[in-house]
């Protein structure tokens, strides 16, 4: 048994953003918003498969291109 927490700071860095905020210089730029940056799975038993989906929203007006994703 072990407790796992998923952290995605490397994912945020790959977008060139800081923390879960993106400051657009103009309204015509993409603006990444992550309502959730961690997820606590709780107890996981050996051999058990787990997954969680992180929602990413573009609150800007131009397309947000995800070019590279890296996880910790």
Domain map (residue ranges) of the chain: 2-58
Share of the chain above pLDDT 70, in %: 61
| pLDDT tens per residue across span 18-47 | 444 555 466 689 999 999 989 999 999 999
Q: Is the pLDDT of residue 63 over 70?
A: yes
Q: From CA 6, how far away is CA 3, in angstroms rounded?
A: 10
- Provide the whole-model pTM: 0.50
Could you tell me the two tokens for 8?
A: 């995605």
**Residue 34: φ, ψ to 5°:** -120, 105
Q: From CA 43, how far away is CA 19, in angstroms rounded?
A: 27
Q: Is the pLDDT of residue 60 over 50?
A: yes
CB 60 within 8 A of CB 24: yes
Q: From CA 6, how far away is CA 21, in angstroms rounded?
A: 18
């Amino acid at each position: 048994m072990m407790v796992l927490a998923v952290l995605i700071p490397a994912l945020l860095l790959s977008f060139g953003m800081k923390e879960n905020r993106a400051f657009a210089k103009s309204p015509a730029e993409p603006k990444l918003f992550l309502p959730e940056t961690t997820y606590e799975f709780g107890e996981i038993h050996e051999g058990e498969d787990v997954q969680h989906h992180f929602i990413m929203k573009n609150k800007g007006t131009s397309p947000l291109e995800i070019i590279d994703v890296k996880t910790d």
